[in-house]
């Protein structure tokens, strides 16, 4: 069974924390009255904490496709998180990222949950329109 790249990255980035906690617990056992079984229990809880947070943090460890920059955003599709009207900005999710968006000139209002396509970028605001519905397979 292969480990996903995101899980591999997450595990590698946990190593320094595990090392620091492990060394700290060894020193506490040696220099204080902390028992060894309690130290192992605390270390186990630390590992469980890392395992519990992985599903929440996984999206941040996944690689993102695209050329990056403005050119990478043009044509990208996402989902409107709130209704988009011509006179007010809203938010959209494009991949794992949340963006402020406005409707492109002449675009019809969109309800929350509508699929959108990026047609332009102005500063850090995306200009979007309704995405073409995808054909079923």
Whether residue 110 has pLDDT greater than 70: yes
pLDDT beyond 60 at 16: yes
Dihedral sign for Cα atoms in the order 109, 110, 111, 112: negative
Q: Give dist(CA 116, CA 99) in Å, integer.
A: 12
What domains, with CATH codes, occur in the chain?
5-61 (no CATH), 69-130 (2.40.50.140)
Note the pLDDT of residue 4.
84
Confidence of residue 69 (pLDDT cuts 50, 70, 90): low
Q: What is the pLDDT of residue 134?
A: 55
For the record, the structure tokens of 70 come out as 């403005």
Neighbours of 80 (CB within 10 A): 22
For the chain, give the mean pLDDT: 87
Looking at the whole model, is its pTM more than 0.85?
Answer: no
How far is it, in rounded angstroms, from Cα 116 to Cα 74?
11
pLDDT score at 74 = 87
pLDDT of 14 strictly over 60: yes
pLDDT-wise least confident of 24-33, 36-45, 90-99: 90-99
Average pLDDT over residues 46-57: 93
Give the pairing type, strands 77-80 and 97-103.
unpaired
What's the DSSP call for residue 85?
Answer: B
The answer to whether 46 touches 21, Cβ cutoff 8 Å, is: yes
Residue 1: pLDDT band with limits 50, 70, 90: low
């Amino acid at each position: 069974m292969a480990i996903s790249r995101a899980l591999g990255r997450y595990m590698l980035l946990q190593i320094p924390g595990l090392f620091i906690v492990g060394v700290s617990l060894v020193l506490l056992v040696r220099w204080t009255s902390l028992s060894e079984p309690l130290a192992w229990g605390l270390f186990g809880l630390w590992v469980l904490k890392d395992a519990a947070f992985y599903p929440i943090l996984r999206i941040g460890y996944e690689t993102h496709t695209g050329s990056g920059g403005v050119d990478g955003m043009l044509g990208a599709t996402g989902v409107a998180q709130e209704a988009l009207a011509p006179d007010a900005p809203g938010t959209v999710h494009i991949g794992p990222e949340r963006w402020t968006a406005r409707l492109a000139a002449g675009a019809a209002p969109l309800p929350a949950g509508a699929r959108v396509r990026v047609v332009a970028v102005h500063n850090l605001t995306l200009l979007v329109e309704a995405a073409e519905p995808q054909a079923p397979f």
